[in-house]
Amino acid sequence: MGHVQSVLATIKVGSQYMLIHLILGSVTTFTSANSSLRYMAIFVIIGLAMSIQSAVYQTHYVPTPLRGILAMGAWIQVFNSYDILVHKRINYAEHREWKKEKGLIANGGTIWFTLSIPNNFRRLDTKWQTLVAAQEKFFGEENSSKRNSEAFFSSAVQRCMSSWPAPIWTGSPDKKRYFHSWAKAVSYSIYPGSVCRP
């Protein structure tokens, strides 16, 4: 009996958590940037987060690690929803236009955007992408439009390789040293400002 109650309690809380994502993604995708539904959605998401918080506090049927993850994730989505719906006012129509201007393909259409945007915290591959300080330094103001993460990664590796001492990359270096240097350049390419000369 206890096992059944645990499963049911977990499904109940988990479904509320998934509902937060579904509401946030749907409202972001299918409403205009200035729609009043966005404010209503935030209040609903806050209500669901409070319900999850209360449920995980009062029940011992949901496994303890899962209770922490669900409660924490719910409140993260509350702040995330404010950023998406009110602060940046992200919407699919504007995202699609931005893709067309850049000559990029909007993968997955509305369904993919609905499901992915709530967990795309850095807004990767959108016009609202958040650049880390190292990326801003690497691209500079004149190249601020280069916000595709794939392009950033490959360009950063090339920049690192060209800025490091030539013996590492040319001639017949020791294989171990060569591999170590290559791996280091790739791993640090996420933060090129720390290893690449400006």
pLDDT tens digits, 26-77: 999 999 999 999 999 999 999 999 999 999 888 878 888 888 999 999 999 9
Q: Is 138 exposed, middle or buried (CB count within 10 Å of its CB: 0-12, 13-18, 19+)? A: buried
- Lowest-confidence region among 17-31, 56-70, 115-129, 142-156: 142-156
Q: Which residues fall within 8 angstroms of residue 33, CB to CB, at 6 or more apart?
A: 89, 90, 91, 94
- Of the candidates 141, 108, 138, the one whose C-alpha atom is nearest the C-alpha of residue 125 is 108
What is the separation of C-alpha 60 from the centre of its chain, rounded to a whole number of angstroms? Answer: 31
Q: Tell me if the pTM is above 0.85.
A: no
Q: How far apart are the C-alpha atoms of 19 and 85, rounded to whole Å?
A: 16
List the end-to-end C-alpha distance of the chain, in Å, as a whole number: 64
Q: What is the pLDDT of residue 161?
A: 45
Residues 80, 2: Cα–Cα separation, whole Å: 35
In angstroms, the Cα distances linking 47 to 17, 91, 145, 160 are 11, 23, 38, 48
CA-based R_g, the chain, Å: 22
Question: Is residue 96 pLDDT above 60, yes or no?
Answer: yes
The domain limits of the chain are 2-96, 131-198
One-letter amino acid at 184 equals K
Q: Are 55 and 13 in contact (CB under 8 A)?
A: yes
The H or E element spanning position 89 is none
